[in-house]
Amino acid sequence: MPLRPRRFALLAFVLVGVALAEAALLAVWAFRDPERIRRGSAYLRGERLAARLGCFGCHGPGGVKGSLDPTSPTGSVPSWSGGTHMMYVQDEKEIREYILDGMPSRLRESAEEGRKRLDKLTIRMPAYRALLTDAQLQDLVAYYKAVSWFETPPDEAAARGRDTALRLGCFGCHGPEGRGLIINPGSFKGYIPPWDGDDWDDLVKSDAEFDEWVKTGEISRFRRNPLAAHFLDAQQIKMPGYRDILKPGELESLRSLVGWVRSTRKG
Ligand code: HEC
Ligand code: HEC
């Protein structure tokens, strides 16, 4: 029996409704998908890869707390943060050599002190050459370099901004160099957006908005929008307002720092 026109209209209405709801759900998922952000950041891909390769077993969570090893002259496997990297790697090439071969060629080829020190270690750096593609190696290096602050921002204002951000604790929530992706239940995106991510342009449209974020922990554009305001209040981790503890010139330095971080982003 052919469908009566009215039933047909109802069916079409329901089907279109379901399709629209599904599209909306997919759009929200895509919008809130931290994997999308991760795919676009060498730092974040490197972080995940390091976890999967077991690097954090010896170098500690995130690479920042090396396991104790009484046979090491420093008493532990090196942490990637805290400035100790300078005792181990002289340049970026040596970072790659450590990861690929377990030691830099400088030590491999020497019969001297350094090599003897390595032979005595109980916990040794494995060689990952057989496991890594070039692109994966690059990602690991990008992660390591950010965590260890391997590069100091070249301009003075940005370098001052780094010290300010360290002093104020910005990197706790925003990750090393502000490149981290920390999950934030109840928030608009579901995570704290990295400073060098694609979300930035929606969140910080001007220097004035940057200053607002840092001074008050939010922006008036979001506060005025009922939906955005809901998320500002519902998110578990809230950006603190630093208005009362900022010193003169610090906002400008922080802005320079973020400018440097964004300009050195590796997708
Ligand atoms: C079995 C323990 C172990 C694992 C797993 C491990 N490392 Fe290491 N790693 C070491 C030790 C020990 C050293 C110090 C070697 C030395 O004294 O020269 C080191 C040194 C390094 C260095 C140079 C020094 C520094 O920390 O700045 C880098 C870079 C490094 N490892 C990266 C990695 C990466 C990346 C991974 C994972 C792909 C990894 N390591 C996995 C034990 C480990
Ligand atoms: C307690 C955690 C926390 C600390 C510490 C923190 N922030 Fe945030 N920050 C957040 C959260 C959460 C958001 C996202 C807010 C939102 O989406 O509504 C945010 C957003 C921002 C934004 C907007 C763009 C973006 O990438 O999210 C900037 C800029 C920013 N923070 C800079 C800073 C600076 C500079 C410092 C240090 C002075 C700092 N934050 C310290 C949690 C923190």
Q: Indicate if the pLDDT at residue 1 is higher than 60.
A: no
**What Å distances lie between residue 29 and 13, 23, 24, 102, 234, CA to CA?**
24, 10, 9, 41, 19
Compute CA 215 distance to the chain's CA centroid, rounded to the nearest angstrom: 23
Which of 118, 155, 148, 145 lies closest to 266 in space, CA to CA? 145
Q: Indicate if the pLDDT at residue 2 is higher than 90.
A: no
Q: Indicate if the pLDDT at residue 9 is higher than 70.
A: yes
Q: Whose CA is nearest to atom 5 of ligand 1?
A: 55
User: For the residues 71-88, what does the mean pLDDT come to?
Assistant: 93
CA 213 to ligand 2 center in whole angstroms: 7
Pocket test for ligand 2, best of 213, 245, 254 (most atoms within 8 A of CB): 213
User: For the residues 231-238, what does the mean pLDDT come to?
Assistant: 96
| pLDDT score, position 19 | 82
Q: Is residue 29 very low, low, confident or very high in pLDDT (cuts 50, 70, 90)?
A: low
Which of 259, 235, 261 lies closest to 32 in space, CA to CA? 235
Q: Indicate if the pLDDT at residue 71 is higher than 60.
A: yes
Q: Which residues line ligand 2 (CB under 6 A)?
A: 165, 168-170, 172-174, 184, 187-188, 192-193, 195, 200, 203-204, 210, 213-214, 232, 235, 237-240, 242, 254
Interior angle at CA 202, CA 196 and CA 206, nearest 5: 85
Q: Whose CA is nearest to atom 38 of ligand 2?
A: 170
The set of residues, in sequence order, having a beta carbon less than 8 Å from that of 33 and lying 6+ positions away, is none
Pocket test for ligand 1, best of 125, 132, 140, 148 (most atoms within 8 A of CB): 125
User: For the residues 198-213, what does the mean pLDDT come to?
Assistant: 96
**What Å distances lie between residue 222 and 121, 198, 228, CA to CA?**
54, 18, 5
Q: Whose CA is nearest to atom 11 of ligand 1?
A: 125
Ligand 1 atom with the shortest distance to the CA of 148: 27
Q: Which residues line ligand 1 (CB under 6 A)?
A: 50, 53-55, 57-59, 77-78, 80, 85, 88-89, 95, 98-99, 103, 118, 121, 123-126, 128, 140, 144
Residues in the chain: 267
Closest ligand to 75 CA? 1
| pLDDT score, position 32 | 76
139 vs 15: which has the higher pLDDT: 139
| pLDDT score, position 204 | 97
* Angstrom distance (rounded) from CA 187 to CA 185: 6
Q: Indicate if the pLDDT at residue 107 is higher than 60.
A: yes
| pLDDT score, position 267 | 87
Q: Indicate if the pLDDT at residue 60 is higher than 90.
A: yes
Q: Indicate if the pLDDT at residue 92 is higher than 70.
A: yes
Closest ligand to 46 CA? 1
Which of 181, 170, 255 lies closest to 217 in space, CA to CA? 170
* Angstrom distance (rounded) from CA 134 to CA 181: 24
User: Across the chain, what does the average pLDDT equal?
Assistant: 93
| pLDDT score, position 18 | 83
Pocket test for ligand 1, best of 59, 76, 85 (most atoms within 8 A of CB): 59
What tokens does 46 get?
């490197």
What tokens does 108 get?
């491999």
Buried b / exposed e over 156-189, threshold 16 CB at 10 Å, is ebbbbbbebbeebebbeebbbbbbbbeebeebbb
Amino acid (one-letter) located at 265? R
Q: Indicate if the pLDDT at residue 180 is higher than 80.
A: yes
Least confident piece of the model among 30-44, 75-89, 190-204: 30-44
CA 123 to ligand 2 center in whole angstroms: 38
Which of 161, 195, 197 lies closest to 175 in space, CA to CA? 195
